[in-house]
Structure 1
Amino acid sequence: MLLSGASGGLGQALVYLLLECKVRALYLTARNQKILAELAERAQQQGVLCRTQNADLCSPQGQELYLAFLQEAAEQGVEHFILTAGMAPQRSEDREESLEAIERTLTVNCTMQLKSLYLLLGLQHTKAPAEHHNSSAIPGAVRSIALVSSQSALYPIPSLPVYGAGKAALSYAVQALTDECAACGLKLTLIEPGFFSSPMGERFVGRKWFVLSPQAVAERILKAMAAGRRRAVFPSALALGIRLLYLLPRPIGRAALKFFAFDTAADPRK
């Protein structure tokens, strides 16, 4: 199993859950070297082979290291990938995202996620002859990929223009590629969670409904992958509320959006 964004709140919860599931090997990549080392030590204490790669997806060098790590993992027979890397943009004093923040956010939340997917899909095509439609019959093939988007992709929220745009683009692309991936035996699962407790989630200041624990989100991701689901949107109550916005007259919809209005605090990890 390979996990990106392993040093985040959700990433760590997934690592702990995977260790409970007695996985044989973990490939972990994230920007926080200290947390990566702690996770690797914990895995090794439980007899699990663990390889790590520190990579900041905002830098060209980090992007190269990250993609090379994914390719190496796939070539060494890793069958399952969970891509959770993401970030929230820093807002400037005038309440708008800076040009640098826009580029960084879209790079991490969308561009690098899609590059990861296309890289793995390309490797799959080289391993899978045209007549194969079952990755279990293909030695060393990738079997499943889960990509974590967000319920912010479901509706344009004025307080999240850049973050939501990146997640919406990711969700669109994953759904568009699902059938092509399935044709070569690769199962895609699009994960669209609502709010959950994490260092990044805590930076969203304001009204946050139906907040889940990172452990609960991790469990739902693994269950969705195990069931072969193409899309998992949760919690359902929040998703329903967001979708109902499309049915409201515009003036009422604008007023209702106040219930989804929040700001983004500075990242204390920088």
Structure 2
Amino acid sequence: MSRYCLITGASSGLGRELAIQYAREGWQVIAVARSVNALNELHQEYSTIHAFPLDLTNTELFISAVNHLAEQIPALDLVILNAGSCDYVDANHLPLDIFERTMTLNFQAQVAAVKLLLPLLQKSEQGTVAIVSSLAHLFPFTKAQAYGASKAALSYFADSLRVDLTDSGIRVCLIEPGFVDTPLTQKNDFKMPFLLQVSDAAGRIRKGLDAQQQRIRFPKRLVFSLHLLNLLPYSLRCKVAAGMRQP
């Protein structure tokens, strides 16, 4: 019997690699992204990856697309909400358009995805929704006010969602990776500690999901480092963070 997995942000980076790895494992993968060409290329390479072009921030189109999907498949066994963006901001100006765009995609669209896809997950014997946040929200990084805030909101949402879905039969997994070598992070102009290759990161996520972990955090060295920083007295922690500022 076929297993169905839906992955957002599947046109590049971590989402693309996850789609490929799950397809190789025999899953039927619903690959969601805005880039039609990138999704079609994936389908041409792997027949079990099905292109599902969609702008997650357009709720009306999202509703229509999910209704169509429900007519095509019996259930969703796994949903990986991986779509997201990162724009750095100037704290002296705090561009509101960046905050709105970041929160809309990184948080609001993920909430909408959970709402709309829950009925298909409930039709599975063991449905899992995996929400990709970030370790970034664990420490106040320079220029990351919009990105970090959106990921902090997303992580809290996932943990709170798990509480209320405890008796529903649907598992909620929070995924908080560190730096992964993707087109998104390749734009960064600063040193990224413990940078992981995308195939490694995707493999860690699959392993964690297979083990039914509630939270997947990696790499451990970065997790440990951030926890140590957070053990510092608050005033000293603020000084350390300020010392990391980019010019």
TM class by shorter-chain length?
Answer: 0.7 to 0.9
Distance 1:68 1:96, change over 3 A: farther
CA RMSD of aligned residues (A): 2.4
Deviating more after overlay: 152-161 vs 251-260: 251-260
Normalising by structure 2, we get a TM-score of: 0.87
- Partners of 1:259 and 1:54 lie apart in 2 by 42
Q: Do the aligned residues in 2 keep the contact of 1:124 with 1:184 (CA within 8 Å)?
A: no
1:118 maps to 115
1:105 maps to 102
1:163 to 147, 156, 162: 147
Distance 1:5 1:32, change over 3 A: same
Normalising by structure 1, we get a TM-score of: 0.80
- Partners of 1:36 and 1:124 lie apart in 2 by 23
1:28 to 18, 27, 31: 31
Distance 1:121 1:10, change over 3 A: same
The offset of 1:69, in angstroms, is 3.1
Distance 1:67 1:235, change over 3 A: farther
- Partners of 1:199 and 1:81 lie apart in 2 by 22
1:64 maps to 60
Q: Which amino acid aligns with 2:52?
A: Q
- Partners of 2:240 and 2:146 lie apart in 1 by 20
- Partners of 2:19 and 2:127 lie apart in 1 by 19
Aligned structure 1 segments of 4 or more residues deviating by more than 4 angstroms: 94-97, 122-125, 258-263
- Partners of 2:152 and 2:109 lie apart in 1 by 14
Q: Equivalent residues in 2 for 1:170-189 (5 A)? A: 170-189=154-173
2:42 maps to 39
The offset of 1:163, in angstroms, is 0.3
Is 1:256 the counterpart of 2:230 in the alignment? no
Q: Which amino acid aligns with 1:35?
A: A
Q: Equivalent residues in 2 for 1:126-165 (5 A)? A: 136=125, 143-165=127-149
- Partners of 2:130 and 2:199 lie apart in 1 by 16
Q: Which amino acid aligns with 1:21?
A: E
Q: Deviations over 1:41-64 (max 9, x none)?
A: 1112xxx2x432222335x3xx43
Distance 1:217 1:254, change over 3 A: same
Distance 1:145 1:51, change over 3 A: same
Q: Do the aligned residues in 2 keep the contact of 1:204 with 1:262 (CA within 8 Å)?
A: no
Q: Equivalent residues in 2 for 1:173-212 (5 A)? A: 173-212=157-196
Structure 2, unmatched stretches of 5+, are none
Is 1:14 the counterpart of 2:18 in the alignment? yes
Alignment coverage as a number of residue pairs: 241
- Partners of 1:34 and 1:204 lie apart in 2 by 25
Q: Deviations over 1:148-192 (max 9, x none)?
A: 000012233242111000000010011011132231110111000
